[in-house]
Amino acid sequence: MFFLNGPTAPVRVPSDEVIPLHSWDESPLYRRIALYNLKVFDDVLDPERLRSSLEILVSQRTWRKLGGRLRKTSNDYLEYHIPAEFSKERPAVGFSHVDHTDTAKDDHPLASKLPKPSSRPAVVGDPDESIDLACGPGCPKSIDDYLYSDRPLLGLHVVSFKDATLVTLHWLHIACDAMGMKALVHGWVLAMQGKDKEIPVQQGFDHDPLAELGKHPKEAHKLADQRMTTGSLLAYGLKNGYGLTIGKKETRMVCIPGWFMNSLRAEAIQELTDAGVKTPFLTESDILVAWWTRIAVSHMPEGSDRPVTVQVAMSLRKTLEGDLLLPDKPYVSNCFGFANLLLSVKDFHQKPTSDIALQTRTAITEQRIREQVEAYQAMVLDSVAPLPVFFGTGNTYQISYSNWTHADLFGADFSAAAVTPRDTPLYASYIAHCQVPFQFPEGFIIVGKDSKENTWLCGYRVEGATEKNVSEVQDLIFRAYKNLPASPPSIIDTIRQSVHIHPAMADLILSVMQTISNPEYSRHAANLCEMFCSSKV
């Protein structure tokens, strides 16, 4: 019966160049993730210039894999089938364009909801609300949309408004990671500027430079004895299976202004110095991971010994330079591993942010060295499927971070594509990240820092998790504000001690409270909570 037959892949073209996927790209996880990276530019860009320059890049010999068609072999492996010549019928890049040039961005029902920077740390929106802007008509949303069509792996969708342009790149995760995307966008900008000859040659186009990684370990991984056993994995799966698979997720975008990050970092460095740490070094990412994880577990009992595993993705290109990778050529593929920090819920409630941040930095530094990368990948190869290694117990609360700051997506200058010539650079004012159909719960992407020093954090969580955290912090503030007939500074001290609010945020709350001439605690508490927590998104 014909209706029992599955979809059919297009007939293979004999002249196509066939290249198998690299070993790291051939992951069951990457197969399930289609990525959409939407950039908002507050100027009118030429869609044809955007498309043609991207096609120029992908037409370069060592970049042609991005224009390949995805096909599956008889033994279920994936291959790129690259047209001998790109043409109108078989283009290098998938392209779609929606014209709203008769409408201002803020007058459009969806575009008007795109998040804008906040003057304080705040949840500013839901990136999934803009998915219809990021995904054009017929855009791919699963691997089947590639396997059973003749679409190229890389796609471009442009939405034009009277005063702005939305530019979305979309690809399947098997193509590359965030640092690979950095190289791609850099090459694209060079093509926009007419500097085709400056586009760098890419390494690893037709061979796998990481094929031997993990096959020659010289030492055990530092966390090898805390790797989840089969029993622990089963228990973890039973406890979290619904959230990992079919459970509803929620996505939130958080904006953290530069003044707040600077204050957090300065205080953390001072705390470590006071504690006797010599020349302490912390990145903003270390501090953000520590601070945000504390918020993420704030709804759990303060004295809980429940294990928490913080998994931080890290690019391995620098680690592998001079060994498996060349330092002077981009590598547009997947090349990242994970550092893991194992603590407890109690640690995040009781230890200062500076201590957690320092432990995060230590874990990354130790687990990024060449020998440890080899040891980690050896564990991956020893698994039933090439998936990230899980550490902890069956009761572990797993939270993952991926820091895209070094990809500098906000730093790409698109002024060369502006319809009206510009004398100044044109950077994205907002970048949204969407992924379909798989969304890992309790996963956070540090999208990067914009030109105004705002840091953007995108979080995927089990539905209702964000509300739990907001409600917990609101409740603590409400109780401190309602039940203590004390002067504002005393209340602020109580709030600091209760929920570990950073002094800068406490001062912000204090300044608001001081504007209330006749405070009626119960009536004003909700307004104060809303200002602090931004619960309305």
Please list the active-site residues: 173, 413
Residues 132, 109: contact at Cβ < 8 Å?
A: no
189 contact partners, CB below 8 Å, separation of at least 6: 412, 413, 414, 416
Spatial distance between the Cα atoms of 315 and 297, rounded to a whole number of angstroms: 26
143 contact partners, CB below 8 Å, separation of at least 6: 31, 32, 34, 70, 172
Nearest Cα to Cα of residue 491 among 507, 473, 469, 504: 507
**What single DSSP character describes residue 429?**
S
Give 155's Cβ-side CA count (13 Å radius): 30
**What single DSSP character describes residue 198?**
G
Q: Cβ–Cβ contacts within 10 Å for residue 403, how many? A: 24
148 contact partners, CB below 8 Å, separation of at least 6: 7, 8, 9, 10
Angle at which helix 521-533 crosses helix 465-483, to 10 degrees, equals: 140
Backbone angles phi, psi at 263, to 5 degrees: -70, -45
The two three-digit tokens of residue 27, written as one number? 């992951």
Residues 458, 440: contact at Cβ < 8 Å?
A: no
Spatial distance between the Cα atoms of 301 and 170, rounded to a whole number of angstroms: 41
The two three-digit tokens of residue 144, written as one number? 């089947």
Spatial distance between the Cα atoms of 102 and 167, rounded to a whole number of angstroms: 18
Helix (H) or strand (E) holding 70: strand 69-72
Spatial distance between the Cα atoms of 20 and 246, rounded to a whole number of angstroms: 31
Q: How far is CA 72 from CA 10, 33, 144, 206, in A?
A: 11, 17, 10, 17
Spatial distance between the Cα atoms of 532 and 176, rounded to a whole number of angstroms: 37
Q: What is the DSSP string of 120-145?
A: SSEEEE-GGGGHHHHS-TT---STHH
